[in-house]
Amino acid sequence: MPSIKPKNKEIMNTLEVAEFLKLHPYTVNKLAREGKIPAFKIGADWRFHKKHIERWINEKIAYSQQGRERRKPGKDGKDSGPEPTLI
């Protein structure tokens, strides 16, 4: 009996996430262990909800864009942040 694979898998394993994110599988496992990527374990294996990975990516993109906005110089061309204090 042939296995049936849905076109849009909801749950992915480490290799699938590594391919999806273009990372090494070791890096994906490390991120999961450190709680830096949404994941859960089944036995010794990590599993990932595709929708949670996509949401995590979008959050990373939004945070990165907010950081660029914060780092933009003021109207006079200078950084609008406080002057650094030298000790």
Would residue 82 count as lying in a domain? no
pLDDT for residue 69? 77
Going by C-alpha positions, the residue among 36, 43, 44, 45 that lies closest to residue 16 is 45
Would residue 53 count as lying in a domain? yes
Rg (CA), the chain: 20
Q: Model confidence over 8-46: pLDDT tens digits?
A: 679 999 999 999 999 999 999 999 999 999 999 999 999
Going by C-alpha positions, the residue among 39, 43, 44 that lies closest to residue 12 is 39
pLDDT for residue 22? 97
Would residue 18 count as lying in a domain? yes
Q: Using CA atoms, how far apart are residues 25 and 78, in angstroms rounded to an integer?
A: 43
- Only one residue has tokens 């391919």, namely 19
Would residue 57 count as lying in a domain? yes
Q: Model confidence over 58-86: pLDDT tens digits?
A: 999 998 888 777 776 666 566 555 555 56
Number of compact structural domains in the chain: 1
Q: What is the pTM of this model?
A: 0.68
pLDDT for residue 54? 96
Domain assignment of residue 61, given as a range: 11-70
Q: Are 80 and 73 in contact (CB under 8 A)?
A: yes
pLDDT for residue 56? 96
Within a 10 A sphere around the Cβ of 20, how many other Cβ atoms? 16
Would residue 3 count as lying in a domain? no
